[in-house]
Amino acid sequence: MNDRQKMVEELMHHPLKSDDEFLFRCDQCGECCKDRADILLSPFDLCRISKALEEPLPDAMDKYGFLFLGETSKFPLVSLVMREDNGRCPFLNDDNRCGIHMYKPSVCALFPLGRCASRQNDRTDIFYILQPTDCGYDDEIHTPREWMGGFNLEESEQWFAAWQDIVMEISERIREILPKLPGELGNEMLSGIAQILYLRYHVDQPLLPQVKENGILAGKMISMLENTIMTYQKS
C-alpha cells in the first residue's frame, strides 16, 4: 500500500455526508491543475468534455484521455492527460481559470473533496473526504452539496454510484477470468470492455441509462468467455 492509499484510508474514518460542513476557500492559484496523473475520467466526464468541446467522443478520448489497466483492480481506467510542454491541464487558461468550468471532470469540481463509495447488501452509499492541501485558505464554510453548486450533486451522485457498482462488479470478474485467458485473448477482452464502457454513448441523450446498459453488455462479454472456458475444459 502506497502513502496515498494509506492517507485515503485514514481520511475514510472521518467521512462527510452531502450536508456536512468543511472549511476551504480556493485562491485560484491553479496548482491543483498541474502535473497531475491522478485525475481519473469516468464515462460521464468524457461525455461532458465531448459535449463542451463539440467534439466526437472518440476524438475527445484520444486527445485528453490515457487508457491504462488498474494495477490491483485490473479494470480499464482513463486518466486526464496533461500538456507535454508545461505539465498543465489542457483546459487551464492563462489566467488559471478552467476553460470548460461547467463541464470539468468530477474530480476537479470536487477538489479539495474526494468522493468514495461503499457497498453493502447491494446498496451503494456515497460519502466525501476532505483531502489535505497546501493551497487555499480555511476561512470559508461549505458543504459538499453547496460546493458542487451548478454541477448538480444529486445527478452526479447517482452517476457515481452506478459507475462504482459497475467498476466493483466487472473488476472482480476480470480478476477471476484474466489468468485463464491466453495473453492476446485477454488483451482483446480488456480492449472490448473499455470500448463498451467509455465510448458507447450518445452524448446528447441521458447518460445514466446508457452506462447501466453498457455495464450489462460488458458483463455479457465476460459471461461469453466464461462459458467458452467451461466448454473447453469439459471437452
Per-residue pLDDT tens for 68-113?
999 999 999 999 999 999 999 999 998 889 999 999 999 999 999 9
CA distances from 15 to 46, 59, 129, 130 (A): 27, 37, 5, 8
For a pLDDT cut of 90, what percent of the chain falls above it?
A: 73
Quote the cell numbers at residue 93: 487558461
Runs of H (alpha helix) within the chain: 3-11, 43-53, 57-64, 106-110, 144-148, 153-177, 183-199, 207-234
pLDDT digits (tens, 9 = 90+) for 30-57: 889 999 999 999 999 999 999 999 999 9
Q: What is the pLDDT of residue 167?
A: 96
> What backbone phi and psi angles, to 5 degrees, belong to 124?
-105, 120
Q: How many domains does one find in the chain? A: 1
**Domain range enclosing 9:** 3-234
Indicate the pTM of the whole model.
0.90
Of 13-17, 32-36, 209-213, least confident by mean pLDDT is 13-17
